[in-house]
Amino acid sequence: MQVEVYDTTLRDGTQGAEVEFSVEDKLRCARALDDLGVDFVEGGWPGSNPRDLEFFRRAAECSWRHARVVAFGSTRRADVEAHADTNLNGLLDARTEWVAVFGKSWDLHVRTALRTTLEENLRMIADSVRYLKAQGRRVVYDAEHFFDGFRANPDYALATLRAAQEAGADRVVLCDTNGGTLPHQVAPVVRRVLGGVSVPLGIHTHNDAGCAVANALEAVRAGCRHVQGTVNGYGERCGNADLCVLVPNLVLKLGYECLAPDALGRLRHTSRFVSELANRPPDDHQPYVGRNAFAHKGGVHVSAVRLDPATYEHVDPAQVGNRRRFVVSDLSGRSNILSKAEELGLRLDPTSPATQQILERVKWLEYTGYQFEGADASFELLARRLLGEWDDGFQAGPFLVVVHRDDERTWAEATVRVQVGGVEEHTAAEGNGPVHALDRALRKALERFYPELRGIRLVDYKVRVLNAEAATAARVRVLIQTTDGQERWETVGVSENVVEASWLALVDSVSYALWRSRGGPRHAAVPAAAD
């Protein structure tokens, strides 16, 4: 059975704190959603800001393979004729085949927010839908605050839906705008509505009680055939129903048809792509598409998953474009090391001394503060060094960092020594801070021997204090992310000195770049834009 997917990331999602899209971002996001096969892409409110007007102007010039772009707005204002309402005419100016209008279903809102009568609100709904239909538009009617309104005054809430239907609405959507409804309350309301409304029914849920996805699932099971949500659950306050969780539950758990055929495998990529556009860090613990959604750390779990993934995985991660990941830590047993090595393209003999040596080295390093969960490149280098498969190609010698300050600015200067094949290189570089200066100096020293290093750069840098009670003498763990513009990789360093910890991570980052440039498999690297 088919369920329509209506994405409102570009409208409702942008109401979330710290979510911001440029016009170009919105167009790129819309194209990604079209590739994914969603049925509707709500592009924004053309009457609210120039950016959304520009989006609809440019969207009208694009060809869309699957998605229908929707303009969003409100019903007419109280005591204003529909044909004279600027908001409704703004919807028409967007030149979309489909438009969405929201109206009040809760009598409290009619009286306190609109400051009008219940009867006038019904006329506002009907007049708005009828006017848009007369102009050749197809209309999605969003019944705002429907579940709260139904609890307060069910007869009036149902009357608002009938007003929209009788005026010609093509879809009627029940909105849990405040997000306070619980799953067991949804189905009885949906069934009651279906008894009096004949147009296709939709559901729009918010996550204020942590139930947005569960509520949408209950609505579909009760008869809704149109679901609204956002990629990654972006939205005002606690967000909207997360389509990256809702859709795979509908498809894989309940057997409904959503999206384009075979598109579910693009879900993780789409999730990460949208998070990049929104400039929001991906949620590693997000169900289905998160980096840790199929990560295994405990030795017993890893051993079982190696025998049969179904022991600790509820679906095949490939179905949503994700992958299984084995985490190496001081909790690791031999199974973890073997599984992680296999993931990185290393074939280890479980009985070999090298495997035991890698295990003991990992346990010792993590005891001292290292963590390889977010530093696959450092783990791969460690393993390949102990296996004799990789020599860094250089020896990092002493370094010196000096921080300068005058009346106008602060900067750092780093001096490093490296040896390559018995040849010593001694050079210096400046940077905004000590780590920047070290990074530039190290690569400058090696570029004479390895010109391919000119294309890499540090893109992320994180410091974590490991024993805060030691104050300024505390050990720190530094994680850095490096890219060559095509892929990126993470490395780690630990020391009581933050500059030394940074240096250790930098040396690994350069060594891994050389490993890749020498034709080594790129297992610990991931696409720069997708992850």
Higher pLDDT, 234 or 284: 234
Residue 283: how many CB atoms within 10 A of its CB? 18
Strands 171-176 and 201-205: parallel
How many angstroms separate the CA atoms of 116 and 63, rounded?
A: 42
Confidence band of 384 (pLDDT split at 50, 70, 90) = confident
How many angstroms separate the CA atoms of 178 and 185, rounded?
A: 14
Nearest alpha carbon to residue 175 among 112, 100, 91, 114: 100
Do 395-527 and 4-277 fall under one CATH topology? no
How many angstroms separate the CA atoms of 344 and 366, rounded?
A: 20
Does the pLDDT value for residue 530 go beyond 50? no
Q: Identify the pLDDT of residue 31.
A: 94
Phi, psi of 398 (to 5 degrees): -70, 155
How many angstroms separate the CA atoms of 29 and 40, rounded?
A: 13
Question: 185-209 burial string, b = 16+ CB within 10 Å, else e?
Answer: bbbebbeebeeebebbbbbbbbbbb
Domain boundaries, given as residue ranges, for the chain:
4-277, 295-367, 395-527
Taking only the tens place, the pLDDT of each residue in 58-98 is 999 999 999 999 999 999 999 999 999 999 999 999 999 99
Q: Which residues contact 114 (CB under 8 A, 6 or more apart)?
A: 78, 104, 121
Q: What is the mean pLDDT of the chain?
A: 89
List, as own/partner pairs, every contact residues 156-159 make where C-beta atoms lie below 8 angstroms and the sequence separation is at least 24, other chains included: 156/105, 156/107, 156/118, 157/105, 157/106, 158/192, 158/193, 158/196, 158/197, 159/122
Least confident of 128-132, 173-177, 464-468: 464-468
Question: 131-168 burial string, b = 16+ CB within 10 Å, else e?
Answer: bbbeeebbbbbbbbbbbbbbeebeebbbbbbebbbebb
As a whole number of Å, the end-to-end CA separation of the chain is 33
Q: Looking at domain 4-277, does it have CATH number 3.20.20.70?
A: yes
How many angstroms separate the CA atoms of 294 and 285, rounded?
A: 9
Q: What's the mean pLDDT in 111-126?
A: 95
Least confident of 149-153, 227-231, 288-292: 288-292
Taking only the tens place, the pLDDT of each residue in 312-325 is 889 998 899 887 77
Percent of the residues in the chain that have a pLDDT greater than 90, as a whole number? 59
Taking only the tens place, the pLDDT of each residue in 467-525 is 766 666 678 889 888 988 888 888 999 999 999 999 999 999 999 999 888 765 555 55
395-527 — its CATH code? 3.30.160.270
Distances (CA, A) of 322 to 302, 318, 448: 17, 5, 40
Q: Could you tell me the pTM of the whole model?
A: 0.71
How many angstroms separate the CA atoms of 430 and 400, rounded?
A: 12
Higher pLDDT, 284 or 119: 119
Confidence band of 331 (pLDDT split at 50, 70, 90) = very low
How many angstroms separate the CA atoms of 278 and 20, rounded?
A: 6
Nearest alpha carbon to residue 286 among 243, 328, 252, 326: 243
Q: How far is CA 378 from the centre of its chain?
A: 25
